[in-house]
């Protein structure tokens, strides 16, 4: 479907960024002019508290401008990745962002050239008081910050560092095409990155098997190219970690948010220690589906199969909005505004970026890209992305620009809390017993897809970085073999591990997100803890949760989450979530 065929109410409105491409062009020119003017602060930032404050504000101004320019271009490109105009605008904006970063590369080293005590004394100047956390975090990174000359070089290298992920994105979204999948009747079904999971949920096993084989056949045809891109991405991560004097790429990635390596390590250990429970769920799936062999193309098929559970988008909007009533009238009111003010680009169209995300700037709506299907999974995706957007909205409403974003470590908490509240709402308000079984199965699938699957990805990501750091190479053969073995370990004895799954790593864009994926699992665990508190305690927990959503980056993420009620430096949230999974498996088994 072409985007022009979609009703306006289902397309996002980017006008609060720029009303036209021409306006974007004017802003593009203005960014460079402001960046040139900012260079006038070089060598003068520490002249006085007043000058320091002025420099920070001008630095923020340029940052906001380039972020708006870059975000608009990327959002437009994601509407249709084949559109050459927006490909060009995005490339120009990324190049400009690198230039701006290089032009302002003196800013951080110049502040860090002073003693921390000097900066703390300057912070007694009232307008600078709000930057205390900013300065503390800045000086925490002092030993990893290089000279002005080296920072300038790294800024220039930054654009090259984006090549693997950008190339992968174009290959995945613009260049890959798939042969139609065929069902048991011989009828064709369009196979795309966006439709693949939908086909995997089909009741027609012939269709599932055909889609599975044809989908990964395409990835197999590109596997050496994608392996080379992933090798380059890992090399980039290792390069920057070494240059900045971190012990490893993983420690460099976690340092940014002050997360100890014990957090992802204990996640992987806890999940591996509880794989027997996951095996039990797979065994139940095999039994209920009545299969002699449970294959990986059977994994997405709901095991409660006699349920008609189509949910049109308008109905999904209503259910999602009502399910979030526990979070208060203001929260619900803003959710309605998200629909009315066109935060969301809803349906899959030709060339559109696959998947879903929430993205915007401090000055814009927190936009949402979807590829919506009229099913329960898409409804959960809708509330998931609204969780991200509400987190962004409340942060920007309550924090100044310097703290106007939240760390990646916190990013998946609000989204998954929304999902947990929707799950509870459906179980309480749907009285059809088969539909309740379906929802319970869906809840277990959230565990499978978030805690178990994302932890497997995290283990894979950790292992491939370790392999390269020890002198190994990421050949297609190594990547495929290691990924295949992880699947065998995680799925256990009751699942046939089809050989084609060894190519699945090649379809996961998060492998280019620099140790992002473990945070889906930790975020899910934290969200289970916070949503349970909201359901049991009511207003006191809602108040703590709203403060969490409004905190941005005014404190370290571990501390923000601890104040909200989930201490991720302990094993409790992950183990409690896994205990809940065990209980849910037993409950569904009893019902079936």
Distance CA 101, CA 88 (A): 20
- 503-509: average pLDDT: 96
Do the Cβ atoms of 375 and 309 come closer than 8 Å? yes
Where b means 16+ CB within 10 Å and e means fewer, 99-120 reads: bbbbbbbbbbbbbbebeeeebe
pLDDT at 305: 74
The band of 485, judged by pLDDT with boundaries at 50, 70 and 90, is: very high
Do the Cβ atoms of 370 and 379 come closer than 8 Å? no
The pTM of this model reads 0.81
Distance CA 49, CA 29 (A): 31
Strand partners, 358: 368
Q: Residue 192, SS3?
A: coil
pLDDT at 438: 87
What are the angstrom distances between the C-alpha of 66 and each of 13, 98, 108, 200?
20, 10, 18, 41
pLDDT at 496: 97
Given a cut of 80, whether residue 3 has pLDDT beyond it is: no
- 70-76: average pLDDT: 97
Do the Cβ atoms of 34 and 100 come closer than 8 Å? no
Burial class (CB in 10 A: 0-12, 13-18, 19+), 124: exposed
Query: Which pair of tokens denotes residue 122?
Result: 């300057």
pLDDT digits 0-9 by tens, 346-404: 999 999 998 899 999 999 999 999 999 998 889 999 999 999 999 999 999 999 999 99
pLDDT at 354: 87
Instruction: Note if 99 is an active site residue.
Output: no
H-type helices in 104-222, by residue range? 107-112, 116-122, 132-140, 148-161, 163-170, 196-200, 205-221
pLDDT at 173: 84
- HEC profile of 129-140: HHHHHHHHHHHH
pLDDT at 592: 83
pLDDT at 148: 80
Distance CA 559, CA 298 (A): 41
Nearest to 390 by CA among 367, 372, 409, 373: 367
| Lowest mean pLDDT segment, chosen from 127-131, 145-149, 188-192, 315-319 | 145-149
Distance CA 345, CA 339 (A): 10
pLDDT at 63: 97
pLDDT at 469: 97
Catalytic residue among 385, 412, 419, 459: 385
Distance CA 265, CA 555 (A): 23
The band of 150, judged by pLDDT with boundaries at 50, 70 and 90, is: confident
pLDDT at 570: 86
Do the Cβ atoms of 421 and 324 come closer than 8 Å? yes
The band of 591, judged by pLDDT with boundaries at 50, 70 and 90, is: confident
- Count, residues in the chain: 592
pLDDT digits 0-9 by tens, 92-114: 999 999 999 989 999 999 999 99
Query: Which pair of tokens denotes residue 166?
Result: 């950008």
Task: Give the chain's mean pLDDT.
Answer: 94
Higher pLDDT, 220 or 305: 220
**Pairing relationship of beta strands 367-369 and 344-345 according to DSSP bridges:** parallel
pLDDT digits 0-9 by tens, 230-254: 999 999 999 999 999 999 999 999 9
Given a cut of 90, whether residue 149 has pLDDT beyond it is: no
pLDDT at 548: 97
Ordered structural domains, the chain, with CATH: 3-161 (1.20.140.70), 313-438+516-591 (1.10.1370.20)
pLDDT at 302: 86
Q: Which residues contact 505 (CB under 8 A, 6 or more apart)?
A: 230, 460, 479, 480, 483, 511
- 164-193: average pLDDT: 94
Place of tokens 């049991």: 536
Given a cut of 90, whether residue 316 has pLDDT beyond it is: yes
pLDDT cut 90: percent of the chain above it? 84
């Amino acid at each position: 479907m072409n985007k022009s065929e979609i009703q306006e109410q289902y397309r996002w409105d980017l006008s609060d960024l720029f009303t036209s491409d021409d306006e974007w062009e004017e802003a593009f020119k203005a960014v460079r002019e402001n960046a040139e003017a900012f260079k006038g602060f070089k060598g003068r930032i520490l002249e006085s508290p007043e000058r320091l404050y002025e420099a920070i504000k001008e630095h923020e101004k340029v940052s906001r401008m380039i972020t708006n320019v870059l975000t608009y271009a990327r959002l437009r490109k994601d509407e249709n990745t084949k559109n050459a105009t927006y490909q060009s605008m995005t490339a120009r904006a990324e190049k400009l962002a690198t230039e701006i970063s290089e032009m302002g590369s003196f800013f951080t080293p110049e502040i860090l050239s002073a003693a921390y005590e000097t900066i703390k004394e300057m912070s007694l100047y009232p307008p600078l008081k709000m930057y205390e956390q900013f300065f503390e975090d800045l000086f925490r990174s002092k030993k990893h910050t290089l000279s002005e000359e080296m920072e300038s070089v790294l800024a220039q290298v930054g654009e090259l560092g984006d090549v693997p992920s950008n190339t992968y994105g174009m290959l995945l979204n613009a260049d890959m095409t798939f042969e139609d999948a065929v069902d048991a009747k011989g009828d064709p079904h369009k196979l795309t990155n966006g439709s693949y999971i939908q086909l995997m949920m089909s009741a027609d096993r012939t269709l599932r098997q055909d889609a599975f084989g044809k989908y990964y056949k395409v990835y197999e045809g590109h596997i050496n190219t994608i392996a080379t891109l992933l090798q380059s991405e890992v090399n980039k991560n290792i390069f920057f970690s070494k240059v900045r004097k971190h012990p490893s790429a993983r420690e460099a990635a976690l340092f940014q948010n002050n997360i100890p390596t014990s957090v992802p390590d204990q996640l992987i250990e806890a999940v591996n220690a509880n794989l027997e429970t996951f095996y039990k769920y797979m065994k139940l799936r095999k039994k209920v589906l009545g299969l002699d062999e449970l294959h990986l193309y059977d994994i997405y098929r709901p095991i409660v199969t006699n349920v008609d559970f189509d949910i049109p988008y308008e109905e999904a909007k209503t259910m999602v909005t009502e399910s979030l009533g526990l979070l208060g009238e203001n929260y619900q009111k803003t959710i309605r505004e998200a629909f009315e003010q066109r935060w969301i680009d809803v349906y899959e169209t030709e060339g559109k970026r696959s998947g879903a995300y929430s993205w915007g700037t401090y000055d814009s709506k927190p936009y949402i890209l979807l590829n919506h299907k009229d099913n329960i999974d898409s409804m959960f995706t809708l509330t998931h992305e609204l969780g991200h957007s509400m987190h962004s909205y409340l942060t920007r409403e309550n924090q100044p620009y310097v703290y106007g974003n939240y760390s990646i470590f916190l990013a998946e908490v609000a989204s998954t809390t929304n999902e947990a509240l929707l799950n509870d709402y459906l179980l309480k308000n749907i009285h059809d017993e088969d539909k309740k079984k379906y929802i319970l199965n869906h809840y277990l699938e959230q565990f499978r897809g978030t805690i178990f699957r994302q932890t497997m990805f995290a283990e894979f990501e950790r292992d491939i970085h370790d392999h390269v750091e020890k002198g190994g190479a990421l050949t297609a053969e190594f990547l495929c073999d290691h990924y295949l073995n992880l699947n065998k370990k995680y799925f256990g004895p009751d699942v046939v591990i089809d050989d084609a799954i060894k190519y699945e790593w090649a379809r996961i864009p998060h492998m280019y997100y620099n140790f992002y994926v473990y945070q889906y699992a930790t975020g899910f665990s934290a969200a289970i803890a916070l949503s349970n508190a909201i359901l049991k305690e009511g207003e006191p927990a809602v108040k703590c949760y709203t403060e969490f959503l409004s905190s941005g980056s005014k404190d370290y993420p571990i501390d923000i989450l601890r104040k909200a009620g989930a201490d991720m430096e302990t094993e409790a949230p992950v183990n409690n979530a896994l205990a809940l999974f065990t209980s849910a498996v037993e409950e569904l088994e009893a019902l079936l």
